[in-house]
Structure 1
Amino acid sequence: MQETIHCLIVDIDRYPPLPTTATEKSMSKPSNSEHTTTDQLSESAHQSVDQIARSAGKVEERIRHNAADAEEYVKDAGHKTKKYSDKTLESVSAYVQDNPLICLGLAFAAGSLLSALKHRS
């Protein structure tokens, strides 16, 4: 297998250095631009991007606020549900302890009904 290595030698002194800062970039622009339409379109595009960024920032802020409100609402609903289920469990437990024979009869009737419905289908 033969490998070919290509090497490109560039005389770096032949080309001027590229501007690295915004000041250098703005200074490298010709003062009398021959591309006024391009420059105007570029400026308009920059303004549009800036406006979109501001709008997106406001939308993001609103979404974060709504998400925080939703999180608080869900936590509150969870706590209320937990309280209600605990209260209901206590109530049912107290009823079963006070009326064990009635609860046994209800459980037997419910089981018989479910068994009949299951065998029917």
Structure 2
Amino acid sequence: MASGPLPLRGVGMDSQTRCAHYRQLIDVIALRHACCETWYPCHLCHRELADHPAVPWPAARGAEPAVLCGVCAHRMTASEYLGAGSCPACQALFNPGCKAHAPLYFELPQRP
């Protein structure tokens, strides 16, 4: 996994990636956007700070990390994140409501 600082941006973001839009204790993830290779806490942060429309993480890049735990900086794939209720590295709980926005962040397989 790459080291060094990530391109991470958010509106009013705290040290655990909570932003001005989502500030619950369990709002501790950032999502990588394929359009700019930048990590944002939410789609609203991307809308406010980027100069382009958001593009969901492509299914073809599913083996690459697309989600960051804001507590411990563990990176995971979209499928790892979608299958977990907490960080596999530090066990920080994730907001289950975030998964309702999954199509905004990830290109998901079509269901028959």
Q: TM-score, normalised by structure 1?
A: 0.15
Point out the structure with the larger helix share.
1
Higher relative strand content: 2
Task: Indicate the structure (1 or 2) with the bigger Cα radius of gyration.
Answer: 1
Q: TM-score, normalised by structure 2?
A: 0.16
